[in-house]
Structure 1
Amino acid sequence: MKAILHRVLNYIYKLESNIAFYPSLISLGGFLFAFLMYYVEHLHVSKYLVEHVPWLVINNVETARTILTTFIAGLISIMVFSFSMVMILLNQASSNFSPRVLPGLISNRRHQVILGIYNSCLLYCIFTLISIEPTGDKYQLPGFSVLLAIVFMTFCLGAFIYFIHSISQEIQISNIMSVIFNTAKNRLNTLVEFEKTGESSFPNSAHWLVLKSKTSGYMEDVSLSAVFEAVKDHGVKVDIMVYKGEYVFKGNPLFRIERKIKSDAIDSIFSAFNFSKSEFIEDNYVLAFKQLTEIAVKAMSPGINDPGTAINAIDYLTELFLMRMRKKDKSYYFNASGVAIVHLKSTSFKVLLYEVMGALRTYCKHDIVIVQKLLGMFEHMLQHTDTAEESYKNMALREAENLYEDASSAISNKADLEGITKRLGILKHIAV
């Protein structure tokens, strides 16, 4: 049951991130409200208002038609412009920063709501215009509905102004990196908060029964509670062999169990896995490291040549690495007695650091400013090892030495070489 619930919630989450989700819901609201007003008008609400507050009702048929026709044409123009701006934003972000940032930009809820407001108002105006009878008089004319159309159009104009402001902010790389960082920060804080502090005695699973994947795609998430519920009555443990964000091919090993159990329990374990063709930072914080690294590398390319953006990206990476050092490489799901039942494979600190530095060393080793900034990142990491595992210190120092080796071969200025040599000596002294 938990696996099914997890899948339903995951499906809703994916649907919610779709650019058409909120516009469709809000548009449906505008469509239904138009029919509600059509029903209300048949209760002679406009007649009542004409008798008591006539200034709230549009009495002239031609005036009402002209207003609604103008609104419809104007809203279509605004929608075309807004959608064009969204496409320009996505194209520029993909070209100048990284294609990986597109899912986050597409799922921007504010822009989806604004587009939904446009479409709902458009549908309302269309169906209100249709409801006007050719021979209508001041009692038959849905005058109050027309007045509401004027109110809604005013609200749309305000939403359009806000949209222009928001889109101008979203296009700035500093805001894009800030959103990436904050999302990853919240995810890492959650993982660190709920992580078990004690050492686990999880057994060696090398000779356990291996179950293979029935599908292919990115392993987006797995419901550990659902896996636990599936095996708790069988007294077995589960070792998940893939990590979040890894692309799993059909037929590749997916997880191991201690011994063979009932087929329905195995099916429940399989249903706890969610595969996707796209990735989100909310599900996998490692994606934030990839995105910030790609932004820094793209900024250092000859076509863009923006070291300032690369420095900002390294600052965010530094803080994320400091947070990652508080998390252990191995993750477990414990039962009520504190016994590890499920082992979840995760991207190790060593692999994560190597993948980030592998790209930065390759494309930034010639720039002394970036090299010094990266050495500063390692200095911060070595100074904060009191909250991290001891092995992380050696990994950070090793990557600093790799950076020094690449930079010394790409930089010819003696003063620059002396500077980074001195900086490496300070790192070694801190690591002792």
Structure 2
Amino acid sequence: MVRILAFYRSIKSKIAFYPTLFALSGLLFALLMMYLEKRGMSDYLVEHAPLFVVNSGDTALTILSACITGLISMMVFSFSMVMVLLNQAASDYSPRLLPGLISDYRHQIILGIYISSILYCIFVLFSIQPTGDKYQIPGFSVLLGILATVISIYAFIYFIHNISETIQITNIMEKIFNNASTRLNILLERETSMNWNFPDSHGWTAYSSDKSGYFQDFSGRDLLAFSKKNNTFLEVLPIKGTFVLKGTPVFRSKEKLSEEAVKELLENFHLSRKELVTSNYVLAFKQITEVVVKAMSPGINDPGTALNAIDYLSELIRLRMLKSDESFVSDSGQDYVKMRAVSFEELLYQINAALRKYCCGDIVVVQKLGYMYLALLKQKVLRPSYHDVLEKEAKRLLTDAKVAMTNEADLETLNLLAKKLPLQF
């Protein structure tokens, strides 16, 4: 099951996914209309509703040719706009944002409307056959081709509107935040059913991966069924999003397993060559942090974007403070599978290390980060140690900022900020 879901996620993220589906639907609809035309549909409409039928063969050929030409031009322009969008996002923000932009279903659907309309018009054009001095005209099909072109024009107008909004960094970060917060809320709901009675895994037998890739996900239901079937407990060793080399241990079992059982279990682990926010919320922290770093680089120099990104980052950190560093798969009051996650301390250190490197010279951004830590220290946490981690990282930030700044007014601002946290540095 996990492989089917992984395959679906993989093809859905491709820019050609929806266009391919729409192209097939346009082709099938054209064949259906050709069949209905042979059954005398246009002749029936000529007698009862002549307004909906194109009678002139030359007119039909001219209209369909113009529609096909215009649709191809719009499609080429739209593809060019998508490429410009991806290039700008990679150069101005972060290359990690590209998978999320490519998988935007709205762009794919609009491109699919173009392609399906083009294929439909082409096949209808082929069905216009000369019979003596006249043409055998699929009149109603021609009218539908005109309507498909009109729909494509409106889709093109919506595409221009949507592409102008998608390129805005605020909307990009909003999408990243929504995906990550959705994933975190799902994990938080699962933690409410945990019993925290997993046995000590020291000394268990470890089993290695038979291939390399980013550890994306696994089927918790299948692992639970496997544990109960083999009367054992399992511990998943790699953290989601980490790169697993072939031969690296990926799980431990309380009971020794046969080669067939190990092979069966490894099939439930999804290793991929790319990372997705929908399956690994930690990637969202990386992406938003990279947006802040890129915005503070001398080539971009956009502190306003950095300040907005810090707001999204602070909300994600607040959600993460409600989650444990470990999670389990349980059934009937017993935890059978243990999973690891990036610890809160390690996650916050990785975020703060990048921000300290590139933001300590800007008092406005440092002040924003300081107030972020101040607000987070007042939030509810799962473990009291999370507050200690926040204070530690806040102190490191202000210490590095004090070294980087020489202006007396900036230093006084840092001192006031340290008193509010409160910190001694």
- Measured in 2, the distance between the counterparts of 1:327 and 1:34 equals 53
Determine the C-alpha separation between the residues in 2 that align with 1:212 and 1:47.
Answer: 69
Shift of 1:189: 1.0
Within 5 Å, which residues of 2 pair with 1:21-170?
21-135=17-131, 140-170=136-166
The correspondence of residues 254-403 of structure 1 with structure 2, limited to 5 A, is 254-336=250-332, 338-384=333-379, 386-403=380-397
2:398 pairs with 1:407: no
Tell me, what secondary structure is at the counterpart of 2:42?
Answer: helix
The verdict on how the C-alpha distance between 1:53 and 1:199 changes in structure 2, with shifts beyond 3 A counting, is closer
**Contact conserved, 2:293 with 2:354, CA < 8 A, in 1?**
yes
**Is residue 423 from structure 1 mapped to residue 417 from structure 2 by the alignment?**
yes
Q: CA deviation at 1:53?
A: 1.6
Q: Aligned letter for 2:416? A: K
Query: In 2, Cα distance between the equivalents of 1:49 and 1:390?
Result: 76
TM-superposed deviation, 1:276: 0.9
**C-alpha contact (below 8 Å) 2:194/2:329 kept by paired residues:** no
Letter in 1 for 2:29: F
Deviation at 1:429, TM superposition (A): 7.0
For residues 107 and 133 of structure 2, the distance between their equivalents in structure 1, rounded to whole angstroms, comes to: 40
SS class of match (2:230): coil
Q: Give distance in 1, aligned partners of 2:134 and 2:196.
A: 79
Q: Which moved more, 1:99-108 or 1:193-202?
A: 193-202
Q: Structure 1 CA distance, aligned partners of 2:275 and 2:257?
A: 32
3-state SS of the aligned residue for 2:33?
helix
2: CA distance between counterparts of 1:137 and 1:228? Answer: 74
Deviates most, 359-368 or 219-228: 219-228
Stretches of 4+ moved more than 4 A in 1? Answer: 136-139
Which digits, 9 at most, give the CA deviation of each residue in 1:252-301, with x for residues without a partner?
Answer: 11111112123333222211100111111110111110000000000001
Look up the SS of the partner of 2:278 in the other structure: coil
- Classify the secondary structure of the residue corresponding to 2:229: coil
Q: C-alpha distance in 2, partners of 1:136/1:30?
A: 30
Deviations for 1:196-224, whole angstroms, at most 9, x for unmatched residues? 47662333323211111111111011112
* Cα distance in structure 2, aligned partners of 1:420 and 1:226: 53
Amino acid at match of 2:363: I
Q: Any stretches of 5+ residues in structure 1 without a counterpart?
A: none
The CA RMSD over aligned residues, in Å, is 1.5
Report the Cα offset of residue 19 of structure 1. 0.9
Count residues in correspondence: 424
| Deviation of the 1:139 alpha carbon | 8.1
Q: Percent identity?
A: 50
Note the alpha carbon deviations across 1:137-182, whole angstroms, 9 max, x for none. 7783111110110111110100000000000100011110111111
Report the secondary structure of 1:418's partner residue. Answer: helix
Partner in structure 2 of residue 232 of structure 1: 228
CA distance in 2, matches of 1:218, 1:170: 28
Does the CA contact (< 8 Å) of 2:240 and 2:280 recur in 1? yes
Q: Which one-letter code corresponds to 2:366 in the other structure?
A: V
**Contact persistence 2:57–2:135 (CA under 8 A):** no
The 2-side partners of 1:203 and 1:50 are apart by 79
TM-score (normalizing by structure 1) = 0.95
Decide whether the 8 Å contact of 1:59 with 1:138 is kept in 2: no
SS of residue matched to 1:168: helix
Secondary structure, counterpart of 1:220 in structure 2: strand
Displacement of 1:393: 0.4
The residue type paired with residue 84 of structure 2 is I
Q: Structure 2 stretches of 5 or more lacking a match?
A: none
- Distance between the aligned counterparts of 2:199 and 2:134, measured in 1? 83
Which whole-Å CA distance do the structure 2 matches of 1:151 and 1:323 have between them?
A: 48
1:253 aligns with 2:253: no
**C-alpha distance in structure 1 between counterparts of 2:229 and 2:24, whole Å:** 46
* 2:418 partner letter: L
1:346, CA displacement in angstroms?
Answer: 0.5
One-letter code aligned to 1:67: I
Report the secondary structure of 1:383's partner residue: coil
